[in-house]
Amino acid sequence: MTTAPLEDSAGLAGKRVLLVIGSGIAAYKVLDLARHLRRAGASVRAVMTPSAHHFVTPLSVGSVIGDLVHSELHSLTGEAEMGHIQLSRDADLVVVAPATANLLARMAQGIVDDLATTVLLATDKRVLVAPAMNLRMWLHPATTRNVAQLKRDGVLFVGPMEGSMACGEYGPGRLAEPLDILEAIRDALRGDTRVPLPPGVTGRPPELAEPSLPLAGRRVVVTSGPTQEPLDPVRFIANRSSGRQGHAIAAAAHAAGAAVVLISGPVALADPPGVDVRHVETALDMRAAVEAALPADLFVAAAAVADWRAAAPSREKIKKGDADEPPELRLVRNPDILAEVAGRAGGRPRLVVGFAAETENLLANASRKLERKGCDLIVANDVGAGSDVMGGASNAVHLVSRLGVETWPKMSKAEVAGRLIAHCATLLDSKP
């Protein structure tokens, strides 16, 4: 359990949270959550499912949030004062707590049969879900399927945790503690919380539509960050990649109108908003995630994939033992994801871009890599001593293609990303 100080309003002051309260014994804890939110300076509106009224009353919720609680889809006053669309849009984040198995199932299927599910389908903001149910209901394959679907749809989850249940059983299914939900809300509110419409749909009449974006209608897959290759349950081989350049490229591709999948190794960065982020640890996981994310128009391999992994990671922690002899470590090669994608016989992305981080003979090595890996473009950067590229905020790169080398001045990684994406959009437009 986290112990965020109650008065800590960082990230919450002035934010608007729409609480969707489902029916469950744990609904009373939502009063506590609402209290913390208000104390941290957030404004809270609430929608209750009809059966949530059995567990907590609109009056008690209303008195904590200082507002009317909404329950009826077709309530005339409700619709006159605030339509369900407006209710769902006038929030920075929608939080569902407790989310019952039934509510998760209706969300996963897009079923709309009350105000809560209508708001959830109509919202243009991120949705954070805190499930609570009996452990068999949580572990049931139907719920597992629904949760997986919702995660694919971009819905965020906090909990459930393991513990004693109202029904007397013990296991996973307890609602996360209010302070943990508060932390998850803080995380979910980072950046732009709007969920973009699919490429090409503006939601505005044509005369008001923005000019079309350079990657509108394109699909882009980006790898980013390091990989971690386990030696045993607590140790791994990794590298200094921060993921900043790869994440910036994914964000730039999204801003350019593409549908973007970002496959990220372990990094300390927030997921770029609007990007479908898939988190992986090892090179083998990354390769599987890339395979699952293809086909794409553009593939950018910005990850620093570990070249080797332990041949046989130990299931148990390797002991120091009494002998002085250190353990032998046998390594095997990891797949070269970039070379595999570039060499695909069917379904090769039209443009395949790799990175070359070199400490010597930068351009010669980059051109050799272009040929060896079969990609269309190599972004080469010097990571030798004295450069702050690995983990730093700026980058000085050369674009190496079969047409020659283009050298860019030192600039921020976000600028490199923006220029690279603009360059790729031009190449894609000119490629047959």
- Closest CB 124 distance from ligand C5P, rounded Å: 34
Token readout for 407 is: 């050298």
Instruction: Choose between 280 and 305: whose C-beta lies nearer to ligand C5P.
Output: 305
Instruction: Choose between 158 and 366: whose C-beta lies nearer to ligand C5P.
Output: 366
Binding residue for ligand C5P, selected from 356, 366, 380, 383, defined by CB under 6 A: 356
Binding residue for ligand C5P, selected from 303, 399, 414, 428, defined by CB under 6 A: 303
The CA distances from residue 264 to 68, 147, 221, 244, 258, in Å, are 42, 21, 11, 11, 18
Instruction: Choose between 45 and 369: whose C-beta lies nearer to ligand C5P.
Output: 369
Instruction: Choose between 335 and 392: whose C-beta lies nearer to ligand C5P.
Output: 335
When asked if residue 48 is in the footprint of ligand C5P (CB under 6 A), the reply is no
Binding residue for ligand C5P, selected from 30, 158, 301, 397, defined by CB under 6 A: 301
State yes or no: is 167 an active-site residue.
yes
- Closest CB 332 distance from ligand C5P, rounded Å: 12
Range in contact with ligand C5P (rule: CB under 6 A) among 74-82, 115-123, 312-320, 349-357:
349-357
Binding pattern for the stretch 183-202 against ligand C5P, x by CB under 6 A and - elsewhere: --------------------
Nearest CA-CA partner of 379 in 410, 401, 349, 409: 401
- Closest CB 389 distance from ligand C5P, rounded Å: 13
Distance CA 338, CA 107 (A): 37
When asked if residue 334 is in the footprint of ligand C5P (CB under 6 A), the reply is yes
When asked if residue 228 is in the footprint of ligand C5P (CB under 6 A), the reply is no
Binding residue for ligand C5P, selected from 305, 342, 370, 424, defined by CB under 6 A: 305
Contact 87, 119 (CB under 8 A): yes
Nearest CA-CA partner of 298 in 120, 146, 420: 420
Nearest CA-CA partner of 43 in 100, 5, 93, 4: 93
Q: Please return the burial class of 313, using the count of CB atoms within 10 Å of its CB with bins 0-12, 13-18 and 19+.
A: middle
User: What part of residues 208-227 is at the interface with ligand C5P (CB under 6 A)?
Assistant: 223
Binding residue for ligand C5P, selected from 355, 362, 380, 399, defined by CB under 6 A: 355
Nearest CA-CA partner of 108 in 72, 136, 143: 143
- Give SS3 for 381: strand
- Closest CB 308 distance from ligand C5P, rounded Å: 9
Instruction: Choose between 138 and 355: whose C-beta lies nearer to ligand C5P.
Output: 355
Contact 286, 337 (CB under 8 A): yes
- Whether the CA torsion 141, 143, 148, 152 is positive or negative: it is positive
Token readout for 78 is: 């409700």
Q: Could you tell me which residues come within 8 angstroms of residue 365 by beta carbon, excluding any fewer than 6 positions away?
A: 356, 358, 380
Instruction: Choose between 302 and 417: whose C-beta lies nearer to ligand C5P.
Output: 302
Nearest CA-CA partner of 342 in 299, 398, 305: 299
When asked if residue 354 is in the footprint of ligand C5P (CB under 6 A), the reply is yes
Radius of gyration of the chain (CA): 25
When asked if residue 338 is in the footprint of ligand C5P (CB under 6 A), the reply is yes
Nearest CA-CA partner of 299 in 266, 229, 347, 234: 347
Residue found under tokens 């619709």: 79
How many of the chain's residues bind ligand C5P (CB under 6 A)?
16
Which residue in 10, 13, 167, 234 is the catalytic one? 167
Range in contact with ligand C5P (rule: CB under 6 A) among 19-27, 158-166, 191-199, 335-343:
335-343
Instruction: Choose between 42 and 301: whose C-beta lies nearer to ligand C5P.
Output: 301
User: What part of residues 259-298 is at the interface with ligand C5P (CB under 6 A)?
Assistant: 283
When asked if residue 42 is in the footprint of ligand C5P (CB under 6 A), the reply is no
- Give SS3 for 350: coil
Instruction: Choose between 65 and 303: whose C-beta lies nearer to ligand C5P.
Output: 303
- Give SS3 for 129: strand
Range in contact with ligand C5P (rule: CB under 6 A) among 14-22, 160-168, 301-309, 410-418:
301-309
Give rounded-to-5 percent helix, strand, coil for the chain.
Answer: 35, 25, 45
- Closest CB 403 distance from ligand C5P, rounded Å: 19
Query: Annotated active-site positions, please?
Result: 167
Residues that bind ligand C5P (CB under 6 A): 223, 283, 301-303, 305, 307, 334-338, 354-356, 369
